[in-house]
Structure 1
Amino acid sequence: MDKRKRYLIVSLAILISLLAYGFLILKVERHDSLELIGAYTVLFICYGALITFLETSKVGWLIAVGIVFRLLFILDIPVLSDDIYRFVWDGRLLIHGIEPFAQLPSYYMQPGSENVPGITSRLFALLNSPEYYTVYPPIAQDVFWLAVKLFPNSVMGSAIVMRVFIISAECGSIFLLITLLKKYGLEVRNALLYALNPLVIIELTGNLHFEAIMIFFLLLSIYFFNKNQLWPSALFMALAIATKLIPLIFLPVFLRYLPFKRCLSYYGMILLFTALVFMPMARPDLIHGMTSSLALYFQKFEFNASIYYLVRYVGFRAVGYNIIGVAGKILPLLTLFSVLFYTYKHKYSTVTPGIMLWCLFIYLLFSTTIHPWYITPLLALAVFTQYRFVVVWSFMIFFSYLGYSQTGFSEKLWLTGMEYGVVIFYLFYEIYLKERVQFSFHILPKHE
């Protein structure tokens, strides 16, 4: 295809993407299933066109386009996720010197409870988990505090501040992806698989999920680790953990690579830095609130799961009731053992994002709850590998939104089965049925 036609296709894909993102921002609610999936499908087709018809010399230009897509959301209040209201709730408590872990939100609605400015029945009604303690670690809480400190009475203003942090982190992550790709001798344009991905843009920038900041710190940790600078690597790993707890799953990776004493030193630095970050909030209510929330997460919440749903089905057949209380205790242990077994059996000369990819994938397979934004770190790690099943998953997982209606949520298990069926089939295809990637989803095609 000549350059003129390629330029026309790319230009049309950008224009249509701008219109589709604008439509999502201005017109679509979470329960508007047809419009939501239709717009997302259009965005994903345009995403495919952009990475397929890319010219090598245009990588920087398309990364700028990806940043523009994110900036479209700057004045938007998320509609696909209501987590923003818990962020603001926690921030309003913090600016008045009250730890969010101290009490359940419902406590502040009781007669005789302390009156906190901004903690209102109207905001309480918007919370999605008012009977659960907050589960957001210190770095996230610091951003909540600053956002509400700058705009104490405006959810929109607070959302803008949080989004500035997230977009800044996303820009940093894209830069680090490019830097690491160069270091590993891989195609720089692979970064576009993350930078232009509609799921990443909508869920992180649009819906204000702090995986964006966690990914940035994680990539910084990988960057310094590969430069053999362990203390800054440990620092940024600790900051990633203090943003979202998920990076804890990566710690067994270093057992296999580092000499024992050096590994202990690295773990010790991570522990020290993590403790220092948590220290300002280190009180019994933090431990009680976070452990209570995490226990509920593993033993009560269930959404868009894979292996767990199979276990639950067997449990129903065997004992006649939902066994999540038991499964929620066993599955995390199976995750840990599986990750340890993988890292023990797998031989590698250095720690790479590809090793971490499979550790995180194991965790997600055993999880009871998989929201769409949970796989965004997996996509960031996948750009360093030949596997593109995560790209397929980033399209399929969006169908989980079809369970929402104006009256609530009812999961459509046939859609969940279809999602995982397609993803597992494509992964099987990539591993067993093709000769080391001769398919267009592998790496962005080269153009002369």
Structure 2
Amino acid sequence: MFLNPIFLKLNKTAWLMAIASVLFCWVFAYHLVRTDYVKLITLYVGLFVLFYNIIKLLKHNTKALTYLAFGFRAIFILAIPNLSQDFFRFIWDGRMILEDINPYLNTVESFISAGKYPVEQALELRAGMGDLNASHFTNYPPINQLCFAIAALFSSKSILGSVMVMRLLIIAADFGTLHFGSKLLEKLKLPTHNIFWYILNPFIIIELTGNLHFEGVMIFFLVWSLYLLYVGKWQFAAVVLALSISVKLIPLIFLPLFFQWFVKRNVISSKHKKPVLSEDERRKPYNQAQDNGAQKWVPAFAGITRLTSFYAIVILTTLLLFAPFYSSEFINNYSKTVALWFGNFEFNGSLYYIAREVGYLFRGYNEIAIIGTITPILVILFTLIITFLRKNSTFKALITAMLLVLSFYYFTTTTVHPWYVATLLILSVFTTYKFPLVWSFVIVLSYLAYVNINSMDKSENLWVIALEYIIVYSVFIWEVFIKKAPRKLEA
């Protein structure tokens, strides 16, 4: 990497920061234990400071930033994830598919307790994933399962081999995100180096490449879909969005937000008999804008027809992707597993934890059973408000709406694992908001949540969680409610 002519042109400071980042990544990948909290924080803060300054120094040298981003990822190729054990379940599911066994129909524990070992290294995988994961049905959608199956196909007897294959898939997805993200930034007339706040971010490299979370693959399809939608290929965009949903279900929350992009953006004023233009569209000659598929004006009823067709393609494609696994047991198991995230699991919550403490004053127990049923309703109501009461008819406004809706969901949900923030971060590079970038920095505090003086106390340290969210909410409130964003970037 460092013999490349691009790097020979870098100044001394850039060289030193690049070398320091390589060393920090190496130590993080191969010489860090999750419970070594001081080392974890030191390495993470160091990497983040280096990352921030590298982008500031090289923002006009995107080739160098690209080489660095994927060079840092290459360091993790041979590493076993050290901050997450989810990958053991990924390997199990993939090998189950390879054995022609539907992974959605049985828990891992049901096999092991019966003395059955349907895949290679079954006992080792069961021990690695832990009791909680082994006792529940899998909740990973079909395209995610396809990635697991590819890893099993190339490495059915080696855990490290499976890890390497999955890691290469995630890195390949990051290449795709870089490509389509840069093209979309160009279309939106935003600085193309913004994409490196995601691609080069140590949080993304560690959580996705390092710890094998497939948000990276979901984000690739999401960004690709947004690009296709912007250039007018909405049918293809719908198919690709379904692929994103079939990696992680979270893009489902964005579906209502496309209403104004398809309908209000395309309204022809019956009074003035001429198109109603956005700021971006006003800058273009009329004929040029008409010829651009992304900026074509049609009657409102045609916009509604396209919106309906868009939704139909997304839903139908998603159902077809799930179809190979279909059975009545699958529907029952999968719905129960998804419901667990709202009614059973608690980790790194914010507003939920406050509501829980208030509830304890009146009832004293099992607050998640009550709050967990209210939270989805609040999220749906907020999404509908943003859909119909906020102006989302331009593409930047649409992406900002997606960012706000997903933020509200994470602010109110019971569980926010660190890698969840990746989707907020990629959306933010197309907006003026920086609170997801700040969150990607302070999210490391969630790994300290179980640091307690009393080792027998397994509950989260709420002081640590409070510090994380005080920082995040302070920046969020400043940017959304106090600071006035430049009008030229609001379109």
Q: If the length of structure 1 is used for normalisation, what is the TM-score?
A: 0.93
Query: Hey, what does 2:417 align to over in structure 1?
Result: 371
1:72 corresponds to which letter in structure 2?
I
Moved more, 198-207 or 121-130: 121-130
Query: Hey, what does 2:123 align to over in structure 1?
Result: 121
Q: Does 1:427 align with 2:476?
A: yes
Query: Hey, what does 2:449 align to over in structure 1?
Result: 403
Question: Which residue of 162, 165, 169 maps to 1:165?
Answer: 169
**Corresponding residue SS for 2:58:** coil
Count of paired positions = 433
C-alpha deviation, 1:434, in angstroms: 4.0
Q: Does 1:92 align with 2:92?
A: no
Q: Does 1:174 align with 2:178?
A: yes
1:324-366 CA-to-partner distances (Å, cap 9, x unmatched) read 0121111011111111111111113234422211121121112
**Corresponding residue SS for 1:348:** coil
Q: Does 1:28 align with 2:74?
A: no
Partners of 1:267 and 1:145 lie apart in 2 by 29
**Corresponding residue SS for 1:102:** coil
CA contact (8 A) 1:166 1:213 kept: yes
Q: 1:139 to 1:309 in 2, by over 3 A?
A: same
Moved more, 113-122 or 85-94: 113-122
**Corresponding residue SS for 2:129:** coil
Moved more, 93-102 or 236-245: 93-102
Larger Rg: 2
Q: If the length of structure 2 is used for normalisation, what is the TM-score?
A: 0.85
Q: 1:115 to 1:191 in 2, by over 3 A?
A: closer
1:9-28 CA-to-partner distances (Å, cap 9, x unmatched) read 32222111111111111210
Q: 1:435 to 1:249 in 2, by over 3 A?
A: closer
1:56-83 CA-to-partner distances (Å, cap 9, x unmatched) read 2x12211221111111111111010000
RCO higher in structure (CA 8 A, sep ≥6): 1
Query: Hey, what does 2:333 align to over in structure 1?
Result: 289
Question: Which residue of 351, 358, 382 maps to 2:404?
Answer: 358
Partners of 1:340 and 1:242 lie apart in 2 by 23
Partners of 1:55 and 1:387 lie apart in 2 by 18
What does 1:387-398 align with in structure 2 at a 5 Å threshold? Answer: 387-398=433-444
Partners of 1:115 and 1:32 lie apart in 2 by 34
Query: Hey, what does 1:341 align to over in structure 2?
Result: 385
Query: Hey, what does 1:446 align to over in structure 2?
Result: none
Q: Does 1:64 align with 2:80?
A: no
C-alpha deviation, 1:203, in angstroms: 0.4
CA contact (8 A) 2:92 2:122 kept: no
Question: Which residue of 96, 105, 108 maps to 2:108?
Answer: 105
Q: 1:53 to 1:119 in 2, by over 3 A?
A: closer
Partners of 2:196 and 2:125 lie apart in 1 by 38
Question: Which residue of 314, 327, 345 maps to 2:358?
Answer: 314
CA contact (8 A) 2:182 2:195 kept: yes
**Corresponding residue SS for 2:134:** coil
Partners of 1:407 and 1:364 lie apart in 2 by 29
1:138 corresponds to which letter in structure 2?
P
1:170 corresponds to which letter in structure 2?
D
1:183-211 CA-to-partner distances (Å, cap 9, x unmatched) read 00001111111111111110010001000
C-alpha deviation, 1:119, in angstroms: 5.6
Q: Does 1:323 align with 2:389?
A: no
CA contact (8 A) 1:31 1:404 kept: no
C-alpha deviation, 1:435, in angstroms: 4.8
Partners of 2:59 and 2:126 lie apart in 1 by 50
What does 1:208-287 align with in structure 2 at a 5 Å threshold? Answer: 208-258=212-262, 259-287=303-331
Moved more, 195-204 or 118-127: 118-127
Query: Hey, what does 2:285 align to over in structure 1?
Result: none
Q: 1:251 to 1:98 in 2, by over 3 A?
A: same
**Corresponding residue SS for 2:83:** coil
Partners of 1:353 and 1:10 lie apart in 2 by 33
Q: Structure 1: where are the runs of 5+ without partners? A: 443-448
CA contact (8 A) 1:144 1:162 kept: yes
CA contact (8 A) 1:400 1:411 kept: no
C-alpha deviation, 1:92, in angstroms: 1.8
Partners of 1:409 and 1:68 lie apart in 2 by 38
What does 1:300-311 align with in structure 2 at a 5 Å threshold? Answer: 300-311=344-355
1:26-64 CA-to-partner distances (Å, cap 9, x unmatched) read 2101111010011000001101211222352x1221122
2:120 corresponds to which letter in structure 1?
G
Q: Does 1:192 align with 2:196?
A: yes
Partners of 1:310 and 1:385 lie apart in 2 by 29
Partners of 1:211 and 1:117 lie apart in 2 by 26
